[in-house]
Structures are given as C-alpha cells and as structure tokens.
Chain A
Amino acid sequence: MSIDLSVWEIVIGLEVHTELATRTKLFCSAPNEFGGEPNTNIDPLTLGLPGSLPVLNEQAVELAIRVGLALNCKIDRSVFSRKNYFYPDQPTNYQISQFDLPINGEGWLELPSGKVIGIERAHLEEDTGKSTHVGGGGRIHDATYSLVDYNRAGVPLLEIVGRPDLRSGDEARAYVSELRAILVAVGASDGKMEEGSLRVDCNVSVRKHGDAELGTRCEIKNINSLRSLGRAVDYEAERQIDMILAGERIEQQTRHWNEDEGRTLKLRSKEQADDYRYFPEPDLVGLAPSQEWIDRVREALPLLPAARRHRLCERSGADTAQAALIVERGLDDLCLAALDCGADPSRTITHAEHNLSDPKALELDPEMFAKLTKMDADGDLSSTQTKTVLAELVQLGGDPGEIAEAHGFKAMDSGELDAVVDQLIAENPEQWQRFCEGDPKISGFFVGKVMKATQGQADGKVVASLLADRVPNAAKE
C-alpha cells in the first residue's frame, strides 16, 4: 500500500448486522431457518398480507439485551418505527426498525490491543427477503427479470453501529473479529460471515493528521469476509487519497466491494438523503425491559473474550497477542485448568499458542497437559519429543509419561551431548570457522547433524546453546 500514514489518517466506522439465533422470526412464528426451498418459511406477516399484524418475539429481545450488556450499552425503553421505501424484497414496503429510541444505546468494546471502540447503538430490526436477478449474467442492471424469495424476510437482525474510532484495515478486522466472538459467546448469533449471518457495512473517510473535521465518507457494502474487510478499507482509503491529491472532491457514495477485482465500485450517490418517512409503528407497543429482566440476563452472561484475555494474562503471564489467540481458539479454560494442576505457565502458553490448533485440543485432559509441560520444563524431553507426545495426547489421550516411555523418549544426558557436539566441530572445521564468524545460516547445519547423530533425542535449543558456548571469546567481539 502506498498510503503515507505519517500524513494521512484513515477513519473507519462499521455497521454490523447480525441475524439473531432465534427459532422464529422477529414478529411472527414462521421459522428462522437458513437455506431451504424458496418461499417455504412464510406466513401472512412474512408476505405482508393484508390484515396481518406483528407480535414481538421475546427471545429476540432477550438476545438483543445480552448483546447490549456484552457491549456495555445502556438498555433503554425503545420504540419500533416504520422505515418506508419501495423494494420488492421488502414485503410491506416498509421495514420495522428502531429509529430514535433503540433498545441498546451508547456502549463500547475493547479490542485485544486494549484500544476501546465506541458503540453508538445496537437496535432490533427485521431482515428483507432476497432477490435473484435472472439473465444478464446475474448483474442487476442487465437482468431480464428477478425472482423473489421471502424466507429471510422478517428474520431478526441486530444492527450494531460502531463509532468512527477505527484507524486501519487491521483494526477494523480486529473489531469485527472481537464483535463476532462476543456474539457467539452470548449465543446471539452463529457469527458466520460467509453465510450472511454477520454482515458488515463499512464507512471509510480520510483526513490529514491533525484535521478536526472528518472527511466525506463512503459506505462499502458486500464485504463477506474479514480478509475482504481489510482489503476493501485499504483500497478505498487509497482511492480517496488519490482523488484528494488530484484535487478532486469526494462524493458521498454507497460503493460495492468487488472481491474478484479487488476494488470498490460506485452503487449510488448519497448526496441526496433518502426520505424514509420514519414514524412510530402503530401495530406494536413500546418495549421497556424491566430491571429484573436485565439483571437476570446480566447474571447469566458467560465470561466475555476481553475478560478471558485479562484473566489469562494475569494467571499465566501471557502477552496480549498470545492471550488473544488462545482465547479466540477457546483454549483459555484448558490453560487455566492446567495451571491449577501445577502446569508450567510459560510452557503452557507456548504450547497453546503453537501446538494446539487442532480442535480436538479442546478436549485435552488438563492434568495430563500440565504433567507434560512439567516434563518439558524439567528437560525430561527434548522439544521435538514434547511435540510428539503432545500430538499423541491430543489425538488419543493417555498419560504423557507413559507415551514418552512407549516411544523410548528421554532427554539426553548433557555429557553425552557435549561429546557429540565436540566431535562434530572437530569433523567440520570449515563450517565451524564460519559459525564462529557469525554466519547465521550455518547454525542449522550443526543442529541438524546433532539431531541426526542423536536420532532426534537432543533438544535443539540446548544444542544451540552448547554451540554458542564453544565459540572462542575473541570471535564474539
């Protein structure tokens, strides 16, 4: 990327729509199911039939409260409104949403880096149906006709509106990743971005560092993965900076991310505000969750990712990046349980970070894992042997001591290893000379030779340190 970040600041605000994991739709009892034959999850309200009326799904409210609490939002009395616009996948030509009074107001979310991102609101609304454009290669403007499926119409959505506090594509990704972890942790959503249960609209603007005003923003739609999010932000920021440098004015637009071409394309101008004619939905009554309800939900909330990270760092000495990874993999409970069984903290974290990416690791017996970390720390096994034992422990379970014995593993006697190292130095004077001169590439040569000679029983790190010890002092200076 050619953006000079010492001059330019990228400002990103995300609007994330998440489908709530209820059994039925937001305002009617038709099933909330993904996929399936078109127009099968439909009832009178789903189709906007004359005379149909909405009744609010209690579970959708419960899930919205869970998310609100997890995002530190103020849960308030709220009102549903109608947002009026004509579009064939909107069965009544109005969307029931929350406008001036959302269920969740002002909150915040903490990224693994420790940065806090503001949440403006997280409100309930209904999803639309889906249109398929037929002919013209599926492109909307060239289609010969369109087909509409209302299965998705009325599915409960929570729209989480973030403050424009994000400053890079990586930060935007970290935000969505964190949000997704929270949504999954509280059971509000399956978090599947590719299946559309998590949809991200991304507002990007640029300005020079020190500018007080925000630049004109563009909204990017159709971002279907975290990877696309980072790419789209970078592309869009660069596009806007190029325009400014060329003396052009940024127009407020909605743009479409094209994954194949790796660029954003203009969908429509937003200079003229749409007139949605919001007004309070007269078919629904107010929503004012009682304090008892909110307290009950709060008490039942699971520990959230940020709290898990803090706990892990405190107990194990893991750094923030390690904690983020381990919590994301859901291995923090295992690590803490292992520590309770006397595991070596540093080895525990190292193994969780590097050697436990297999989902089966979640079922690891913490006591056995702890035992292995101790054997490792005590030098009973070489690092290669430790990995082998751990892999077997993950796949088959058992006792690490017995597994090591079955493999005939034991760490080499240090005297034995000294002899091997000395012999190799003697046999390879030319290479040793280069090693002493500090050629970094040659270290592997010796380690490899030692491993071969010891049939893998030596510990690579120990070998490296033995080699370093043998370099004459003069060569070190």
Chain B
Amino acid sequence: MSSAIDIAASVQSGERSALEVLEEHLGAIAERESEVHAFNLVTTDHAIAAATAVDELLAKGGPLGPLAGVPVAIKDNLCTRGVATTCSSKILEGWVPPYDATVVTRLAAAGAIMVGKTNMDEFAMGSSTENSAFGPTRNPHDLSRVPGGSSGGSAAAVAAGFAPISLGSDTGGSIRQPAALCGVVGVKPTYGTVSRLGLIAFGSSLDQVGPFANSVAEAALVCEVIGGHDPGDSTSLPQAFPAVSEHLSDGVAGMRIGLITEMMGEGIAPDVAKRIRAAAEWLAAAGAEVEEVSVPAVTFGLSAYYLVAPAEASSNLSRYDGVRYGLRVDAPTTGEMMELTRTAGFGDEVKRRIMLGTYALSAGYYDAFYGTALKVRTLIRRDFDAAYERFDALLSPTSPTTAFSFGDKTADPMSMYLNDVCTIATNLAGHPAMSVPYGLGADGMPVGAQVLAPALGEVAMFRVAAALEGSLS
C-alpha cells in the first residue's frame, strides 16, 4: 500500500484516480475487515461520491488539497454529517449528526476520502477496544490480541492497510497506546491545537484529536491539515499548528533528550524497556545529548487522571437521557425513563466511570477527590516544566507491555487502567506526545517509543520521532 503522501501526489498528477485508490482500499477492507473488525460502519457510498468529486475537480483543473484522494478512517466519536456516529455505544442508537466535526471538514477540504467510522471503547473509555457495544477490534498483527484502545479501530485500520491514515482521540493515551500495540505512528497534539468541535466529549480538559499513520511524515501532514485555530472551540489556541513537516529531516544532533526514570522501572516489561534504551542509545549516537531525568509527579498521574476524567465524563454523558436523541427505554415517568435508558444504553466501564466521577464531584468529596486531582495536575505540569528547562524532548515507552490477549484485563478494571501509566501525565499537563514504532518485543509484537515535548513543542517532538523512525530503515 502506498503512503498518503504518495497517493496525494499520484492523484494530483493524474497518475491514479481517487476512485482507483479508493477501490484498492475497499478491496483490502473486503478481504480482512471481517476478522479485524476495525469499523463500526464502512461508508462505501459516501466514499465513492467523495472520490468521484475529487476526480471531477481534477478534470476541471481545480486545485486539489494536500490529501487529495487519500482514504481516511474516522473514529466513531467524531461527528459526521448524515453518517451515524455511535461512540460504540447503544445509547446513541439511531442518532445521525446534522453536522461534521471541524477536523472532518478540514480533512474533506484537503481532499481526503472518509472510508468508514472506526470501532472504539465505548465513549473512548478503555485501553483495548473490548468495551465496544459492537464487539472488539482485533490486532492485525495477531488476531488473538487486542489492538489497544480506545482508538483501537483507527489504529488497526492503518495497520491492516484499510486506510493510510486515520483519526483518533486521546484523553489518557487513546491514540498513542493503540498506535504502539498496532505498530503504527500515533500523535496526541498539544491541547488546544486541534479543534474539539464535533468530537464527542469524554474528558473535555484532556481530550485531543490526532492522527494515526504508517510514517511520521504522514502523521505530520495530517496534523497540519486538521490543526489550527477554530473559533467554534473556546479552548482552541489562536495560532496555526506548528510547521512540523519542514523539520522532519533536521536530525537530532545537539538536541537534549531526557529518558524518564519513572517510566523505565517497575511495571514496565523488560523487553519493552530494552527497546526504549536502544532508542535512547541510538539518539545519543545520532548526536543528541541523552540523559535520564526524573519527573517525580508523573507517578501520581494515574490517580489524578482517574478522578479528573471520570468527573468530567459524568457530566458530559448526562445528556444521554432518552429525551432528544438516541436510545429510549419507555417508562411511566420521565425520571424512570431516563434511568432505564441510561442503564440499558451504557456498558459497565462507562457506568463505572460515571459513578466514579459523580462520587468525586459530590458534596463532601469534591475537595478530597476532584479538587486534589486538579492540584496534582499543577504539580505534574511543574515537574514537566522543570524537565523541559533542561531538555527539548523526553522519551519513554508508550505502553508498559506489547499487545495483550483478549480478556486478560477485563475482569480487573484497575489492571486495565495501569496500562495508561506512561501516557496519562501528558494529557493532564496538556502537552503533546507521540508514539513511534521501535521494533518488536520478545513476543514479536510491536513496541512503541513515546516522544514527549512541552506545549507547542511539536517541532522538537517530530524531529526526534522522525530520527527514531529513520534509525530502523
């Protein structure tokens, strides 16, 4: 399969039509989707119409965007006008958004062709895509293993060649962890650089949309297309997305890179840690100053995250009540109707987090839980800031292990949450981070290296990621 950049170039030059490119990818989907289950919906008709429009535009000599004819898979928590958007939940049954998310509009304007809506953990709550109401997605590298989550479908779609690029959302690692487990690149940009308008909220102060791709360069291009100010999102930063593409070949010579001590010890599988040390060594060999650095507060990230994210989620998800859209379970009174609807419409993990968040915000507990967690965010931010005074970027594993098997962690939610231990602190701080494949673990499954940077430090982050990618080829 060709890269998004090659596809756009060949479509722009008229070498291949968008329709031909689409047919090729629909073919791949037809071949393997039944075993991978990356999609909740394959939008064939929609895609054919969009590809035809690109080809017609080319025929008329119209200007084509940087992603002309490039198939893209969209996580099913991004609103798509006229196309069902489910968050992999029964509660949104029957709902069709009357508008596109800003990122979807921007992709379409760049000429990208949506091929489908990808499977995910319900409302993005999970790390394995096992929490989907429509059944799990399988890891294309080993169908007995999970693809990670919550954006498991988007990661698997790229890994399986269903689309060269896809969009996911990352609240605590939901792009980076499945990217690592599926052996693709995944980016969580700085909070505020990519619009959240049309992203169905989980934890509003943590959520950020970002791309999956087979290469750092493709991921960079997608970030530049979807990023930048959106007046429809009050938390959108005023500037354009950092110009990362032009710095990908700058190398790392002279850069200062810190290996996070707290993410290299206990809880990290030795084969994963080994690959990350190898990455650090290679970066040093490429001319970077690499040192271990302690970021003490990150060890409290998991606790803070599992109070902040559920608190926001408990409120964000209260709108699903059977009154205006989605599922309704009838009952004699509105109060009972709401309760029965929510009870039937949400899965266990969503219920757990709603209850956890409700508890953390409730009278008498706010200060002890939610209030405390917000202060810990400040500590995490401070410790990162201190590290970034000495380093341009930081390095760690993305996930403590390679892809695990189905059912391994579903019985014990806490063991599943521990999977997010390396990714969560970034979201609490609002910083960017990305996962880039860095070889295989002892089980032959992909290992991801996580590159972290300060707010709006995407240029440094992409330089390091591109260097790591280059070291493998």
Contacts and interface: CB of A to CB of B under 8 A. Distances in A.
Interface residues of A, number: 30
A282 B321 contact: no
A51 B321 contact: no
B335 A284 contact: no
A51 B234 contact: no
Interface string B204-248: 110000000000000000000000000111110000000000000
Given A86-B335, A279-B361, A282-B205, A51 B318 contact: no
Nearest to B325: A49
Contacts of A88: 321, 323, 334
A273 B196 CA distance: 35
B232 A91 contact: no
B49 to A, nearest CB: 23
Nearest to A148: B323
B39 to A, nearest CB: 19
Contacts of B205: 282
Contacts of B370: 279
Contacts of B314: 84, 277
Judged by DSSP, the binding face of A is: loop
A44 B323 CA distance: 15
A94 interface: yes
Contacts of A282: 203-205, 235, 312
Nearest to B342: A86
B114 interface: no
Given A55-B231, A277-B315, A279-B370, A50 B99 contact: no
Contacts of B87: 50
Nearest to B92: A50
Contacts of B426: none
B167 interface: no
Contact of A51 (B197, B235, B358): B197
A55 B232 contact: yes
Interface in A440-455: none
Contacts of B234: 53-56, 283-285
Contact of B318 (A55, A86, A283, A284): A86
A50 B97 contact: yes
B358 A277 contact: yes
Contact of B315 (A44, A55, A82, A285): A82
Contact of B204 (A47, A84, A283): A283
A54 B325 CA distance: 19
A275 B204 CA distance: 22
Nearest to B199: A51
Contacts of B99: 44, 49, 51
A131 to B, nearest CB: 9
A224 to B, nearest CB: 25
B198 interface: yes
Nearest to A86: B338
Nearest to A93: B318
B319 interface: yes
B217 to A, nearest CB: 29
Given A93-B319, A283-B204, A277 B235 contact: no
Contacts of A94: 315, 318
B361 A51 contact: no
Interface string A276-299: 011100111100000000000000
B41 interface: no
Contacts of B361: 84, 277-279
A275 B92 contact: no
B378 interface: no
Nearest to A42: B324
B315 A49 contact: no
Interface of A: 44, 47-56, 82, 84, 86, 88, 91-94, 146, 148, 273, 275, 277-279, 282-285
**4 tightest A-B contacts by CB?**
A282-B204, A93-B318, A277-B361, A282-B205
Interface of B: 78-79, 85, 87, 92, 95, 97-99, 101, 196-201, 203-205, 231-235, 311-312, 314-315, 318-319, 321, 323-325, 334-335, 338, 358, 361-363, 366, 370
26 contacts: A44-B99, A48-B319, A48-B324, A50-B79, A51-B99, A51-B197, A53-B196, A53-B232, A54-B234, A55-B232, A55-B234, A56-B234, A82-B315, A84-B361, A86-B335, A88-B334, A92-B319, A93-B318, A94-B318, A273-B363, A277-B315, A277-B361, A277-B362, A277-B366, A279-B315, A284-B235
Given A51-B197, A92-B318, A277-B362, 8 more contacts: A44-B98, A49-B99, A51-B101, A51-B199, A93-B319, A94-B318, A277-B314, A283-B204
